[in-house]
Chain A
Amino acid sequence: MARSALSIIAALVVAGAVIVPVAAVLWRGGGVAALSAADWAALRFTVWQAFWSAAISVVLAVPVARALARRAFVGRSALISIMGAPFILPVIVAILGLLAVFGGNGLVNLILGPLGVPRLDIYGAHGVILAHVFFNLPLAVRLILQGWLGIPSERFQVAASLGARLFWLLEWPMLKRIVPGAFAVIFVICLGSFAVALTLGGGPRATTVELAIYQAFKFDFDLSKAASLAVVQMVLGGVAGLIALGLARGDMMGAGLDRVVQRWDGSRLFDALWIGAAAAFLLLPLAAILVAGLPGLLDLPSSIWPATVRSVCVALAAVVLTIAIALPLATKAGEAASLLGISVSGLVLGTGLFLVLQPIVRPSDVALPVTLLVNVLMSLPFVLRILRPGIEGARADFGRLGQSLGLRGWALWRIVYLPRLRRPLGFAAGLTGALAMGDLGVITLFSRPGEGTLPLVMYQLMGAYQMEAAYGAALLLVALSLGLFWLFDKGGRVHADV
């Protein structure tokens, strides 16, 4: 059948796009003997910061999730929605927001400085961890909140009428089930995070493996070293990813978090403090971008506009390509194939593609296509996660009706599947677009000066201490990312007949 042939082709393309660069990395990377003391230090730091980032995120998430689970208040569902936002927020924008709050001239130092509190310095290991907690605390809260809301309310009623200790009877078993998975997922995410280490880390005490790959490229021009480091990152990510896959439970997208469980315990005051602190931690950096960015819009250098056009083009192309590959791939086997991509980090893929392409073309000539390809591979697992239930549902509900009407091939997709998939398609397209728009990864390896994407230009503005312009660029970038997400997601909802 045409459909299964297409599926096989799509699976082969995806697998090939991952395996070829990985093979190149392995070929060039050689053994671990090539690693220097500094490389080993980078490996140790990577694991260390990922451990603490995950641990702090999860530990702080437990009281916040519990407070959200048992308190109803105005803005609760908005706050929970906003906790989904860091996923599509451009990393570089969030970092600038954190700098505005926790940086040298940031809000915290401004308030605490006159009180005699020593100056807080965000650069270095603790800055990396702070940024990782900013991104992953909301994820941990949503995962754990799901666990809490998964406990049937009748159990709380029974426990209350028995006068039992709620924590040991109901909550501890749930946490034991959910928390290891949440920890593992966040640990893996932090292992592969590049942009945070690039901006806030560096130096002998705060360099991750990913950052070391970048430095091997940019400062040492040593491709063999970059490849060896890529092998290290791949093994690290692969092992941790497999463990996380075994531990992870629950749906990352978090449906149905609107319910409040009625409870008869706990302190309102403490719950309010936890929720307030989490909300402030999340919202202050974003508010800072808005406040500082508006005047900065006037200071934008003219180089920002071509970069914006490039970014929008890459994002739109990523949407089209990802959806086109995802539709025929939306099977169980396809989802497994797509996980190949996520088990390898973007920078590792970039290193491999650089090795493969370098003999053929000038890498800087293909900076945008490579960025596009890597973004497609990175988005694919999420997109398939989102689309598969919809496709399977449509097949179960209307497959036989379609067959009896003789609909097949393109007609079947046009008349049955695509209209049924509008909502998940819109959501998936929005996610892909926003992620590609804000991505600051392989582009740093490939791009020539003056030909960067918007996140890269913004990073360069920060590096040149043109902070006004950087805030303006951040506002522009976040508006475009969230705007793309909103546009596609909304497009999927309008006139969708369920």
Chain B
Amino acid sequence: MLTFEKAVFSQGSFALAVDLSVAAGKVTAVIGPSGAGKSTLLHGVAGFVPQSAGRLVWQGTAIEGFAPDKRPVSMLFQDNNLFPHLTVLQNVALALSPKLRPAADVVERVEDMLGQVGLSGLSGRKPSGLSGGQQSRVALARALLMDRAVMLMDEPFSALGPALKDEMLDLSVSLATDRTVIMVTHDPSDAVRIADEVIGVAGGRAWPPVETATFMSSPPEGMRDYFRQSEV
């Protein structure tokens, strides 16, 4: 369980208050209007946005003081997930070690993971030689290979077409079965498609997770304006 105990994440003059728990092993979507703080929540968990108050606890351990790479999280960013000057193999291998010439066992694990995301035989290419969907798969492969219990997704597939996006969402969830997935989205249908629960974020605060169907039929007070607009 990932618990936010009266946590406050501050970014400049903006502050987001979070007091809730996310169940381990489930897929949780974070929904809300743009500028409400969805990304702040995710980047706060990852350790990129400073936490000014409260605690952040993962399975009994307070992690709010940990550096980003010491937290039990891997992250898929909205863009710039891949280093353009490195090959697919090098990009993914960075999940295991900061070496540009990975050892044989690392290469083997990388190739295996690339096979799972459907990219066999492409490890020698650079990102510019891949389609947008293939680039997303490389980023997903690395996030999975990092072997962290929590996978954070900050709308990594938002630049893809609808069919491809759905395919990537399904693939992510199917490969991350044993992990806790927290996914930001501005599209409620993404949540309906893959999320067990939904956290609503609006006006500088986050509501505790609610089962997806319940959330959609009766969104929490304060989220209703957002839905009224978005469903027109």
Could you list which residues of chain A lie within 8 angstroms of chain B, going by C-beta atoms? 397-398, 400-401, 403-407, 411, 414-416, 419-420, 422, 496-498
Do residues A497 and B128 form an inter-chain contact, with CB atoms below 8 A? yes
Q: Interface digits, B50-85 against A, CB 8 Å rule (1 contact, 0 not)? A: 000000000000000001111001110100110111
Any A CB within 8 A of the CB of B159: no
Do residues A415 and B98 form an inter-chain contact, with CB atoms below 8 A? yes
A398-B69 in contact given A404-B75, A405-B95, A407-B98 (Cβ < 8 Å):
no
B74 to A, closest residue via Cβ: A404
Contact pick for A415, options B68, B81, B83, B146, CB 8 Å = B83
Do residues A415 and B86 form an inter-chain contact, with CB atoms below 8 A? yes
| Complex Cα–Cα for A400 and B94 (A) | 14
Give the residue among B43, B46, B68, B81 with the most A Cβ atoms within 10 A: B68
A400-B69 in contact given A411-B98, A414-B100, A415-B83 (Cβ < 8 Å):
no
In the complex, chain B residues 145-167 whose Cβ is within 8 Å of any chain A Cβ: 146
Closest chain B CB from A25 CB (angstroms)? 46
Jot down 15 A-B pairs with beta carbons below 8 A, ordered by A. A400-B43, A401-B80, A403-B47, A404-B46, A404-B68, A404-B69, A404-B74, A404-B75, A405-B94, A406-B98, A415-B100, A419-B85, A496-B85, A497-B127, A497-B128
| Complex Cα–Cα for A497 and B47 (A) | 29
In the complex, chain B residues 109-161 whose Cβ is within 8 Å of any chain A Cβ: 126-128, 146
Do residues A403 and B69 form an inter-chain contact, with CB atoms below 8 A? yes
| Complex Cα–Cα for A411 and B36 (A) | 36
**Which residues of the other chain, A, contact B69 by a CB distance below 8 angstroms?**
403-406
**Which residues of the other chain, A, contact B77 by a CB distance below 8 angstroms?**
400-401
| Complex Cα–Cα for A255 and B92 (A) | 35
Contact pick for A398, options B83, B100, B127, B146, CB 8 Å = B83
**Which residues of the other chain, B, contact A406 by a CB distance below 8 angstroms?**
68-70, 98
Do residues B100 and A497 form an inter-chain contact, with CB atoms below 8 A? no
Any A CB within 8 A of the CB of B226: no
B48 to A, closest residue via Cβ: A400
Do residues A497 and B126 form an inter-chain contact, with CB atoms below 8 A? yes
B152 to A, closest residue via Cβ: A404
Which size bracket describes the interface of B in this complex?
20 to 34
Closest chain B CB from A469 CB (angstroms)? 47
- Chain A contact surface mostly: helix
Do residues B84 and A497 form an inter-chain contact, with CB atoms below 8 A? yes
Do residues A403 and B68 form an inter-chain contact, with CB atoms below 8 A? yes
Give the residue among A397, A403, A405, A422 with the most B Cβ atoms within 10 A: A405
Closest chain B CB from A417 CB (angstroms)? 11
| Complex Cα–Cα for A95 and B126 (A) | 48
Do residues A416 and B46 form an inter-chain contact, with CB atoms below 8 A? no
Closest chain B CB from A294 CB (angstroms)? 42
A418 to B, closest residue via Cβ: B85
Do residues A403 and B84 form an inter-chain contact, with CB atoms below 8 A? no
B128 to A, closest residue via Cβ: A497
Closest chain A CB from B87 CB (angstroms)? 10
| Complex Cα–Cα for A407 and B94 (A) | 9
Closest chain B CB from A463 CB (angstroms)? 50
**Which residues of the other chain, B, contact A403 by a CB distance below 8 angstroms?**
47-48, 67-69
**Which residues of the other chain, B, contact A498 by a CB distance below 8 angstroms?**
84
Give the residue among B70, B80, B98 with the most A Cβ atoms within 10 A: B98
Closest chain B CB from A420 CB (angstroms)? 7
| Complex Cα–Cα for A437 and B69 (A) | 45
**Which residues of the other chain, A, contact B68 by a CB distance below 8 angstroms?**
400, 403-404, 406
Closest chain B CB from A413 CB (angstroms)? 11
**Which residues of the other chain, A, contact B80 by a CB distance below 8 angstroms?**
397-398, 401
Q: Interface digits, B101-114 against A, CB 8 Å rule (1 contact, 0 not)? A: 00000000000000
**Which residues of the other chain, A, contact B70 by a CB distance below 8 angstroms?**
406
Which 10 residue pairs across A and B have the least CB separation, nearest first? A406-B69, A419-B85, A411-B98, A403-B68, A497-B84, A397-B80, A497-B85, A404-B68, A405-B94, A400-B48
Give the residue among A401, A415, A420 with the most B Cβ atoms within 10 A: A401
**Which residues of the other chain, B, contact A398 by a CB distance below 8 angstroms?**
80, 83
B77 to A, closest residue via Cβ: A401
**Which residues of the other chain, B, contact A401 by a CB distance below 8 angstroms?**
77, 80-81, 83
Closest chain B CB from A416 CB (angstroms)? 7
A411 to B, closest residue via Cβ: B98
| Complex Cα–Cα for A402 and B126 (A) | 18
| Complex Cα–Cα for A411 and B98 (A) | 7
A420-B48 in contact given A401-B80, A406-B98 (Cβ < 8 Å):
no
| Complex Cα–Cα for A406 and B74 (A) | 11
B154 to A, closest residue via Cβ: A400
| Complex Cα–Cα for A405 and B143 (A) | 10
B96 to A, closest residue via Cβ: A405
Closest chain A CB from B116 CB (angstroms)? 20
| Complex Cα–Cα for A496 and B46 (A) | 31
**Which residues of the other chain, B, contact A397 by a CB distance below 8 angstroms?**
80
| Complex Cα–Cα for A404 and B83 (A) | 13
**Which residues of the other chain, A, contact B95 by a CB distance below 8 angstroms?**
405
Contact pick for A405, options B47, B84, B98, CB 8 Å = B98
| Complex Cα–Cα for A422 and B95 (A) | 24
B73 to A, closest residue via Cβ: A404
Closest chain B CB from A150 CB (angstroms)? 29
Closest chain B CB from A243 CB (angstroms)? 35
Closest chain B CB from A411 CB (angstroms)? 4
Closest chain A CB from B41 CB (angstroms)? 15
**Which residues of the other chain, B, contact A419 by a CB distance below 8 angstroms?**
83, 85-86
| Complex Cα–Cα for A1 and B70 (A) | 17
Closest chain A CB from B61 CB (angstroms)? 18
| Complex Cα–Cα for A52 and B205 (A) | 65
Closest chain B CB from A73 CB (angstroms)? 34
Do residues A416 and B84 form an inter-chain contact, with CB atoms below 8 A? no
B98 to A, closest residue via Cβ: A411
